[in-house]
């Protein structure tokens, strides 16, 4: 078999990490004695594939800049194939090839199951482009996943797309409408992952709690997954407050394998701004939801997303966001300055000056960091269960994650990746906790 080398650079969310894995698997065996193996460097690659994200500021320009770095490689190695996949590919389409003629293929996030055919076309010297939203389920057209041993954690996409049309967001335009994978297909892939060593699965979706591929929704799927022997932990991300139903709240309280960590973006604390964002909920409704979740699982750690400097946001609106943050007490959060996305409603509105955005972001991040450190420091003296993933920097040290997604490192010469163990936390650092193993 003629083996070539594939370099994939992944931008953005966990869904793109999952997609990159599936892309690499689809190119591993192209038939006719051809296939690609993943390499960690573009310098010796036969194909470079950028799996892109369109959420962050100037996402498209960053991709064009990255492509510019490969001009020398392409000139020195004319047979090198360069592709752009993901959400920027979906949004830009033929414009990518027009601006960077060295690009050989462009494929959107709903069409990457066609990569083998697109690669064959590129191999004939033709430009290959597919940014359609096909009706067929791409996951059913992907090749069966290889049976190789896996690490103890894995992502599993169960839902794609979004129907919410928040005024700042391009996801409905780049990923399409909400689509859920049938439960039996998700279960099949989950069992396969567990057979290969996975002990924790994170269910992924642009709006994962809108999942409807199971009669019981996401809660029903989680409960069915929890019955798989060998699967010890379940997580899910990213959620919308409007789709957090009572069944899913109850699952947080009584499903032992569902971890006590929830990422639930709110974006702002001002009802005026939430309405302008088209979030379709109020700050009071969000806080009421948090109250019900914590009643079901008192030790639940919460994470969120925040946008500051949204068009027309005043200082009073921003202070409402600060008050909401103080009320919730987040264990972690992601916060950003608003940046325009062409084609979205918010891009056409009066913009907040950059200096004000910068000032508000610094104040919000200072508060979020204070909360994160306080909750992390409060873990000292507590016992947690850690799923170990990899060796640490010191000999005999292992690093893993607690139920609450804290990174934990211990001196544990007898522990290996995939082991679960009780740990008592002894100290808290800037980004991790240190603990000691407890007798089993």
Cite the annotated binding site by residue number. Answer: 13, 53, 87, 162, 166, 169
What is d(CA 398, CA 392) in angstroms, rounded to the nearest whole number?
5
Which whole-number Å values give the CA distances from 118 to 49, 90, 328, 332, in the listed order? 12, 15, 48, 40
Feature table: binding site for [4Fe-4S] cluster: 13, 53, 87, 162, 166, 169
Are 409 and 397 contacting, i.e. CB atoms less than 8 angstroms apart? Answer: yes
- According to DSSP H, which parts of 101-245 are helical? 115-123, 138-141, 171-174, 183-195, 217-225
The count of residues in the chain is 440
Q: Is the dihedral of CA 235, 171, 142, 47 positive or negative?
A: negative
Number of CB atoms found within 10 A of residue 147's CB: 9
175 strand-pairing partners = none
Which whole-number Å values give the CA distances from 162 to 28, 59, 271, in the listed order? 31, 20, 22
SS3 253: helix
Quick one: which H or E segment has residue 63? helix 59-68
Residue with tokens 């608003």: 338
Are 304 and 322 contacting, i.e. CB atoms less than 8 angstroms apart? Answer: no
What is d(CA 171, CA 173) in angstroms, rounded to the nearest whole number?
5
> Cβ contacts of residue 384 below 8 Å, gap of 6+?
402, 403, 404, 406, 408, 422, 423, 425, 435
Give the pair of three-digit tokens for residue 293. Answer: 């979740």
Residue with tokens 């960590």: 261
């Amino acid at each position: 078999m003629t083996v070539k080398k594939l370099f994939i650079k992944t931008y953005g969310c966990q869904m793109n990490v999952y997609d990159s894995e599936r892309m690499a698997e689809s190119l591993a065996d192209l038939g006719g004695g051809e296939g690609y193996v993943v390499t960690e460097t573009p310098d010796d690659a036969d194909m470079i594939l950028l799996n892109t994200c369109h959420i962050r500021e100037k996402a498209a320009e960053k991709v064009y800049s990255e492509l510019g770095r490969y001009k020398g490689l392409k000139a020195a190695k004319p047979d090198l194939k360069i592709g752009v996949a993901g959400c920027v590919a979906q949004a830009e389409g033929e414009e990518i090839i027009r601006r960077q003629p060295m690009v050989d293929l462009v494929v959107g996030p709903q069409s990457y199951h066609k990569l083998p055919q697109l690669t064959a076309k590129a191999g004939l010297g033709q430009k290959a482009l597919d940014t359609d939203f096909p009706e067929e389920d791409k996951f059913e057209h992907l090749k069966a996943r290889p049976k190789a041993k896996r690490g103890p954690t894995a992502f599993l996409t169960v839902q794609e797309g979004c129907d919410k049309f928040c005024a700042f967001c391009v996801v409905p335009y780049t990923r399409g409408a909400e689509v859920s994978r049938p439960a039996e297909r998700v279960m099949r892939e989950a069992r396969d992952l567990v057979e290969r060593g996975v002990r924790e699965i994170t269910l992924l979706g642009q709006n994962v709690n809108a999942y409807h591929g199971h009669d019981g929704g996401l809660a029903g799927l989680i409960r069915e997954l929890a019955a798989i022997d060998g699967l010890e932990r379940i997580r899910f991300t990213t959620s919308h407050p409007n789709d957090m139903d009572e069944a899913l709240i109850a699952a947080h309280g009584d499903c032992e394998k569902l971890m006590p960590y929830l990422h639930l973006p709110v974006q702002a604390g001002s009802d005026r701004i939430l309405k302008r964002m088209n979030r379709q909920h109020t700050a009071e409704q969000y806080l009421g939801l948090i109250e019900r979740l914590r009643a079901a699982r008192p030790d639940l750690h919460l994470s969120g997303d925040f946008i500051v400097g949204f068009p027309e946001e005043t200082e009073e609106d921003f202070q409402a966001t600060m008050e909401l943050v103080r009320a919730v007490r987040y264990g972690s959060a992601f916060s950003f300055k608003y940046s325009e996305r062409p084609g979205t409603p918010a891009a056409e509105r009066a913009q907040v000056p950059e200096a004000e955005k910068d000032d508000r972001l610094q104040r919000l991040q200072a508060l979020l960091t204070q909360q994160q450190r306080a909750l992390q420091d409060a873990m000292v003296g507590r016992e947690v269960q850690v799923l170990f993933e990899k060796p640490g920097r010191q000999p005999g040290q292992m690093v893993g994650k607690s139920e609450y997604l804290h990174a934990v490192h211990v001196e544990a010469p007898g522990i290996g990746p995939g082991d679960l163990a009780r740990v008592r936390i002894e100290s808290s650092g800037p980004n991790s906790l240190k603990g000691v193993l407890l007798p089993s």
